[in-house]
Amino acid sequence: MIELRKISGDNIDEIIALEVEENQKDFIETTNLRSFADAHMLNADGIPATPLAIYADEVVILV
């Protein structure tokens, strides 16, 4: 089953530990940690984003 889950203290270590395959590194410009930090910065309206992770069968696969 595919589902979206909020990134929280319960799964942040799992999110940060995600890495792309070597053959995908040319397509990724940053890390999950940086993306998570950017999501917590305020947007132009002063509202923080709500970062989500994509899980497939209880395994995080994408942030």
Structure confidence at residue 53 (pLDDT): 92
User: 26-37 burial by CB neighbour count: b if 16+ within 10 A, else e?
Assistant: eeeeeebeeebe
Indicate the domain borders of the chain. Answer: 2-62
Q: pLDDT tens digits, residue range 10-63?
A: 998 998 888 888 888 888 888 888 887 887 776 777 787 888 999 999 999 875
Tell me how far apart the alpha carbons of residues 6 and 12 are, in angstroms, rounded to a whole number. Answer: 10
Structure confidence at residue 11 (pLDDT): 92
